[in-house]
Structure 1
Amino acid sequence: MATINDYFKDNVANLENAEVPIENNLIKWKCPMSPYVKINFDGSVSNSLAAGGFVIKNRNSKPILICAMNLGSSTINVAKALALREAPIWARRRSLTHVLVKSDSKIIIDPVCGVYEVSWNLRSIIEDIRWCASSFQDIKWGHVFKEANFVANAMAYVGLKIVNLCIWDACLPVEANLALLVDCNGSSYVKGFSL
């Protein structure tokens, strides 16, 4: 528990405008409407080691699939893009057809949506994401505040401690349980909050 608390204290910064419900400066993770599932993804870099993670949750806020991956030496943007590249691959393996993809990383979401040109080091990864996304019946993309992306943040942090890619079905590693519990309870966060 102390580990995840340290992570959130170190990584809640640089908040931007987002598509999340904000009431009196409160932010919360919002469940997708049926038939959609929601993918949240993120990346992390610590001591030159990069990791990524994502969570796929259903309309009841319950995890369907959770992933953490160690990516070796890389940049934060590449780590986030690689986490996003894995998420739709695994969603298709689960025969999911309607997907909402959300993250606090506009620098990854916007190029996937064609809002602006992608940097050269992310070009092939973004093209892979677009190709995989084309296989869904419907996929929607959006940016959220970091407070609505805590479970994905926690999974990226878990990725720093593992050797390869790890997948969990319908449960999370202990380090991410607090973040999931807050999401599942429909709790709101004050902008800038850390667990």
Structure 2
Amino acid sequence: MVWIKVNFDGSMCGNLVATGFVIRDWNGNVRLAGAKNSGQMSITVTECLALRDGLAHAIHNGWRKILVEGDSKLIIDCVNNVVSIPWSISLLVQDIRVMSYYFEEISFQHIFREANFTADAVASLGHNFAPSRLWDCELPLSFSVPFYFDLVGHACPRGFRL
């Protein structure tokens, strides 16, 4: 069985938030991506929801070896039981930990924002949907630049904008 990678992120525009995740196979090809307009909540809760959504879709699709990457050090540290969990995300972290039992292998890693650019772009697009959107084996054409930066193993440079 092969590994897949789940990147997740949250986006805030004014007082509204959106979630996004991108699931790629071992070759870096997009298998599934999703974005959701989530209304008003904290960015910490939003990022946790993005992670939970990505894992739920991985479970649904039968993928069992997962590498999870996100730029929220707090979320990654909470899931890895490195820090105390804030009450606002305690139930979400509990859900994520329970979902983790569905996988043969799973690893949660913190990455810098520049290396999470594709998930960030997908989350930003989530503000345009009511309530959500899934892309199967593709991403919108407007994400081709950050996606190919990531595909060849390079983070987008600091300050790069779509």
The two structures share one fold, judged by TM-score above 0.5 = yes
Q: Which amino acid aligns with 1:173?
A: P
Q: Distance in 1 between matches of 2:50 and 2:140?
A: 17
CA RMSD, 1 decimal: 1.4
Out of 23, 33, 39, the position equivalent to 1:66 is 33
Q: 1:171 to 1:182 in 2, by over 3 A?
A: same
2:154 is aligned with 1:194? no
Alpha-carbon distance change, 126 to 182 in structure 1, aligned in 2, over 3 angstroms:
same
Q: Does 1:169 align with 2:115?
A: no
Give SS of 1:59's match: coil
Partner SS state of residue 114, structure 2: helix
Q: Is 1:51 aligned with 2:18? A: yes
Pairing 1:154–2:121 present: yes
Q: CA separation of 1:189/1:181 partners in 2, compared to 1, >3 Å: closer, same or farther? A: closer
**Does the aligned pair in 1 maintain the 2:19–2:49 contact within 8 Å?**
yes
1:80 maps to what in 2?
Answer: 47
Out of 100, 104, 107, the position equivalent to 2:67 is 100
Indicate conservation of the 8 Å contact 1:100/1:141, yes or no. Answer: yes
State the Cα deviation string for residues 1-57 of structure 1 (Å, max 9, x = none).
xxxxxxxxxxxxxxxxxxxxxxxxxxxxxxxxx721111000011111100100011
Asked if 1:110 corresponds to 2:56, the answer is no
Is the CA contact 2:117–2:156 (under 8 Å) kept in the aligned structure 1?
Answer: no
Shift of 1:77: 0.6
Give the TM-score, by structure 2 length. Answer: 0.94
Distance in 1, Cα, partners of 2:48 & 2:116:
15
3-state secondary structure, aligned to 1:149: helix
1:51 touches 1:72 (CA, 8 Å); kept in 2?
yes
TM-score of the superposed pair, with normalisation by structure 1: 0.78
Distance 1:177 1:189, change over 3 A: closer
Shift of 1:147: 1.3
Unaligned runs of 5+ in 2: none
Offset at 1:193?
A: 4.7
Structure 1 unaligned spans of 5+: 1-33
How many residues align? The count is: 161
8 A Cα contact 2:32 2:135, kept in partner: yes
Between Structure 1 and Structure 2, whose CA radius of gyration is higher?
A: 1
Counterpart contact for 2:150–2:156, Cα < 8 Å: no
CA distance in 1 between partners of 2:145 and 2:20 (Å): 16
In the alignment, what sits opposite 2:111?
Answer: 144
